Amino acid sequence: MEKYKSRKQDLHLIFIDLEKAFDQVPRELIWQALRAQLVQEHYIELLKDLYHDVTTKVVGPAGKSEPLEVGVGVHRGSTVSPLLFNLVMDYITMDIQKSAPWSLLYADDVVLIAESLTEVQSDLTLWQESLERRGMRVNREKTVYMYCNFSGAKMDVIPCPSIEGRPLERAQEFKYLGSIVAPKACTERDIQNRTQTAWLKWRSLSGVLCDSRMPIKIKGNIYKRAVRPALLYGSECWPMRKTDEQKLHVTEMKMLRWSGGVSKMDRIRNCYIHGRFKVAMVHEKLRENRMRCYGHVMRRDDSHVTKKVMNIEEGKKGRGRPPITWLQTIKNDLKSTNMPETTTHNRTMWRKITRRADPN
């Protein structure tokens, strides 16, 4: 989205939701998908045994019902169920999938991306027909459309794609795999969402974190393992401004000060608070996350989707200062740490240089 924003070229996204996806997979479709992946027949027979003669009971005020046979869907709670579902989705959409990033699939979370409304409508119709022909059903209520007007075109009425003549809801933002996707292709809402999520996690643990009898070391460990991951989830891909880093820094300091029973009136420096809890500065962990992600991307083959996206040509820059991008943030990180880009190919060396451990 950053690349197309810089090119001032529009994007159209459709987030497909499947009704009761894991509960409506036809069993025969599972075996067909396994055979298509050349899974040996005796393994398929073992899986069939797991799904043979499966029943369930309905519990109500009057008691339990008679056993009801379950002939569709994958088992909930089974470690093999997500793999089976992924195989089925890949099998039934194999002929209609476009190369990434134009078709993105993660279990039942599907995104279709196109450069024009006509193209994305055609893709949606094709996916709907293919999925529903195989026993799956697209949720008309929760499938949404997002229009990224990067060109700045002015339209009185923005048309929306439709399913069987019913227009889709147009979303101003959408949470996909834990991250907020917005038409402006900026991280402001995503950072706000992660801040809210981190505060929810902190409040759920406040009985321990705000207990004066709890050792500071344990509080610091809880923060590093439960709260900070919620705050920095997805930060590997954030193009960071100074104001964004400051917002995260303020959030972290409030949490640490309240956990330590310290207020600003006590006039205790932030560096002392970090040292007391043995927690690294948030901007250092942000840089570590970005550098780790960048190293993984650079070690990929040129045919990988991440490399393809990075190599999309940018358009002409408009007037004024362009918005900061992820690649520009990475360049700033490399410049501030005096690290050559070629170091990324040595994984051990790259990790040793970029890792910012919490103080002991």
Cα-Cα-Cα-Cα dihedral of 244, 247, 251, 256, to 10°?
90
Tell me what pLDDT residue 360 has: 67
Tell me what pLDDT residue 352 has: 86
Tell me what pLDDT residue 70 has: 84
Tell me what pLDDT residue 325 has: 85
Please identify every stretch of the chain with a pLDDT value under 70, giving residue numbers as ranges.
313-320, 360
The pTM assigned to this predicted structure is: 0.84
Tell me what pLDDT residue 317 has: 65
| Helices 27-36 & 41-50 angle (0-180, nearest 10) | 160
In one letter, which amino acid is 303? S
Tell me what pLDDT residue 351 has: 87
| Model confidence pLDDT, tens digit, residues 167-198 | 999 989 898 888 888 888 888 899 999 999 99
Tell me what pLDDT residue 38 has: 92
Minimal CA–CA distance to 146: which of 128, 127, 168? 168
Minimal CA–CA distance to 26: which of 123, 185, 136, 162? 136
Token output for 2: 């950053």
| Model confidence pLDDT, tens digit, residues 34-66 | 999 999 999 999 999 988 888 888 898 888 888
Tell me what pLDDT residue 5 has: 82
Minimal CA–CA distance to 170: which of 179, 178, 182? 182
| C-alpha 97 chain-centroid distance | 20
Token output for 132: 């529903």
Tell me what pLDDT residue 318 has: 65
